[in-house]
């Protein structure tokens, strides 16, 4: 209870942030009433990208460990919906998909999060490939098929389910940023050895954060799977989804909660436009944009904003001093 008071009501900034978040969620909740039938589907996929980007920062953004496992957990969610969605309501399947993603990430984390640097990154990418190829082999070997049909839901139903995941994730991120757990993750990101010396159980902290970050990806994967109608390993475990959360978070900037959100929105809109207007050149243009972002915007959009504000403040201070003289 004390943590909630501190996170949401501890200062004027916290109160303004809470009001802003609630207002944004209310606007999104009401938006399908004023949009055409296609837009809820568009918004659901956009919010799914936001969830992937923001959930990635829970672990990787704080610790500095680059995870490429987003596609693995997202794909697990899709396949869980394909397996159980015919008989179980979508919200229940989403909760189950989140739990499975959490459990798999926790188990993988226990084994791998003693590794550091590029070794962990390679392993997480290998996890997505392993699941993709393993499920394909099982489907062909035992079920003589490559994929499965998925029970379709209305665009509005999928949108509201994804929006609930997003709302929960937002409040989890805010709470984590104000908690001792979040502080421990920040310490690991700054200097893991020093964090160990001051009493942080670095391995278990990393494992738990990795598992928490996987749960939303599994949940939205289950929801978005219903809007596709058919799932196979190549669709579910799309390797691009392993890299996109990283790029979206970097593009927006990871120093603020809003950076990954802004980055995901811009990337999704750009991707949607390029796929519709320049389908044959989509990957070339998109790849070029990614390279430019990494080279010239290492701290993202919010980093540029901070730099501009700092520069303006320095200029202002200089003018004031000059006037005093």
The mean per-residue pLDDT over the stretch 236-246 comes to 88
7-16, 110-119, 258-267, 313-322: the lowest-pLDDT one: 313-322
Q: What is the reported pLDDT for 325? A: 47
Question: How sure is the predictor about 318, in pLDDT bands with cuts at 50, 70 and 90?
Answer: low
Instruction: Tell whether 294 is covered by a domain.
Output: no
Domain that includes residue 78, residue range: 2-238
pLDDT at residue 12 greater than cutoff 90: no
Which tens digits make up the pLDDT trace of 138-167?
Answer: 989 898 888 888 888 888 999 999 999 999
Which are the contacts of 276, defined by CB distance < 8 A and separation ≥ 6? none
The answer to whether 135 and 79 are in contact (CB under 8 A) is yes
The mean per-residue pLDDT over the stretch 85-95 comes to 93
How many distinct structural domains can be found in the chain?
A: 1
What percent of the chain has a predicted confidence (pLDDT) above 90?
Answer: 35
pLDDT at residue 264 greater than cutoff 70: yes
pLDDT at residue 323 greater than cutoff 60: no
The mean per-residue pLDDT over the stretch 219-234 comes to 91
Q: What is the reported pLDDT for 10? A: 66
The answer to whether 64 and 81 are in contact (CB under 8 A) is no
Per-residue exposure over 290-304, b if at least 16 CB sit within 10 Å of its own CB, e if not: beebeeebeebbbbe
Q: What is the reported pLDDT for 184? A: 92
Instruction: Tell whether 243 is covered by a domain.
Output: no
H runs (alpha helix) in 255-298: 258-277, 282-296
Q: What is the reported pLDDT for 284? A: 82
Instruction: Tell whether 246 is covered by a domain.
Output: no
Q: Is 149 helix (H, G, I), strand (E, B) or coil?
A: strand
176's tokens: 């984590």
pLDDT at residue 92 greater than cutoff 80: yes
For residues 303, 304, 310, 316, the Cα torsion angle rounded to the nearest 10 degrees is -160
Rg (CA), the chain: 21
A 10 A CB-CB count for 138 gives: 11
Instruction: Tell whether 255 is covered by a domain.
Output: no
The mean per-residue pLDDT over the stretch 198-221 comes to 93
28-37, 93-102, 128-137, 214-223: the lowest-pLDDT one: 28-37
Q: What is the reported pLDDT for 114? A: 76
Instruction: Tell whether 270 is covered by a domain.
Output: no
Instruction: Tell whether 296 is covered by a domain.
Output: no
The mean per-residue pLDDT over the stretch 67-87 comes to 92
Instruction: Tell whether 65 is covered by a domain.
Output: yes
Question: How sure is the predictor about 306, in pLDDT bands with cuts at 50, 70 and 90?
Answer: low
pLDDT at residue 208 greater than cutoff 50: yes
Instruction: Kindly report the pTM of this predicted structure.
Output: 0.89
């Amino acid at each position: 209870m004390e943590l909630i008071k501190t996170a949401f009501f501890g200062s004027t900034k916290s109160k303004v942030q809470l009001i802003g978040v609630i207002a944004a969620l209310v606007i999104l909740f009401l938006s399908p009433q004023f949009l055409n039938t296609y837009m809820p589907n568009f918004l659901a996929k956009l919010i799914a990208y936001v969830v992937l980007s923001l959930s990635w920062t829970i672990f990787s953004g704080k610790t500095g460990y680059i995870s490429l496992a987003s596609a693995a957990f997202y794909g697990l969610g899709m396949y869980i919906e394909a397996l159980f969605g015919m008989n179980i309501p979508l919200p229940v399947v989403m909760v189950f998909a989140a739990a499975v993603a959490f459990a798999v990430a926790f188990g993988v984390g226990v084994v791998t999060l003693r590794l550091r640097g590029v070794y962990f990154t390679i392993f997480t990418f290998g996890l997505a490939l392993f699941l993709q190829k393993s499920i394909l082999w099982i489907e062909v070997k035992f079920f003589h098929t490559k994929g499965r049909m998925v029970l379709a839901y209305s665009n509005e139903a999928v949108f509201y389910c994804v929006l609930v995941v997003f709302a929960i994730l937002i409040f989890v991120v805010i709470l984590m940023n104000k908690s001792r757990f979040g502080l421990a993750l920040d310490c690991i990101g700054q200097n893991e050895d020093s964090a160990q010396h001051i009493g942080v159980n670095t391995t278990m902290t990393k494992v738990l954060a990795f598992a928490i970050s996987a749960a939303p990806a599994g949940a939205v994967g289950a929801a978005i799977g219903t809007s596709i109608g058919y799932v196979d390993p190549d669709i579910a475990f799309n390797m691009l989804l392993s890299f996109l959360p990283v790029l979206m978070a970097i593009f927006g900037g990871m120093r603020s909660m809003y950076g990954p959100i802004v980055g995901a929105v811009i990337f999704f809109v750009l991707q949607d436009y390029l796929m519709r207007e320049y389908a044959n050149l989509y990957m070339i243009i998109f790849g070029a944009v990614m390279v430019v972002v990494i080279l010239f915007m290492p701290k993202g959009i919010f980093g540029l904003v901070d730099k501009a504000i700092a520069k303006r403040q320095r200029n202002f201070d200089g003018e004031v001093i000059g006037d005093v003289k």
